[in-house]
Amino acid sequence: MRIDNATALVTGAASGLGAATAARLAAEGTRVIGLDLPKGVESAPAIENVRYVAADVTNPSDVAVALDAVRETGRPLRLVVNCAGIAPAVRILSSRGVHDLNVFRRTIEVNLVGTFNVLRLAAEIIADQDPDEDGQRGVIVNTASVAAYEGQIGQAAYAASKGGVVSLTIAAARDLARSGIRVNTIAPGIVATPMLTSLGEEVGASLAKSVPFPARLARPEEYADLVSMIVAHDYLNGETIRMDAALRMAPQ
């Protein structure tokens, strides 16, 4: 599918994977509506062809406002990329006590419910658009994690939320097939996002040693590359792709 004369909706667009994806798509001629929380939008980089909208992905009204911005571009919505997420680190039992249920609930709410909220509302718009010559109306790319398969100590909430995104993928792809919408998911390994690099070079170097090959952290731009490949590959549907350089996470 070609999206150079279309609109893309990217969540978590103010930094990390979302920012790299928004920049890549905009450079290729796609009009991008970037969603993020108000604080993120305030500090988001100014990029030509990217318009930021303050929104909480778990809030249907916020997402509806962002979709109104999509309509204002005058271009069809052909791509949705769900990058918004949180990653708390809490053991089920620790010296601090039992895992806070609200932390678990909030993680599921943002990572899984938020992804589904954006997916369902965007799909409604995409399904009403004219298809291209191959019958395609759009592509949705979600973000999981290798933690969905090998959750580490302290990742019970995060792993559960990302496992839900993986399971959602094939069901959503089958549901939306008759509307000409493909659904795929990327499960990144360790990516050099601003949050991770802020921990310092020593931490990054230690994490890189656990990666088989290439023995380094992934770059956010490589996630964006994979999004572009998924869009272009019309026969790729209902799949979760690990982007992890053969990494299999140890317990900790």
Q: Comparing C-alpha atoms, which of 27, 28, 20 is closest to residue 232?
A: 28
CA distance 227 to 22: 10
The residue annotated as part of the active site, out of 52, 149, 158, 223, is 158
Q: Say if residue 214 is preceded by a cis peptide, omega within 30 of 0.
A: yes
Indicate if the alpha-carbon torsion angle 229, 80, 135, 171 is positive or negative.
positive
- 97 DSSP β-pair partners: 94
- State the residue for tokens 């798509």: 25
Cβ neighbours around 109 below 10 Å, total: 17
Compute CA distances 61 → 30, 211, 225, whole Å: 25, 41, 31
Facing residues of 90 across strands? Answer: 155
Decide if 52 is catalytic: no
- Which are the catalytic amino acids? 158
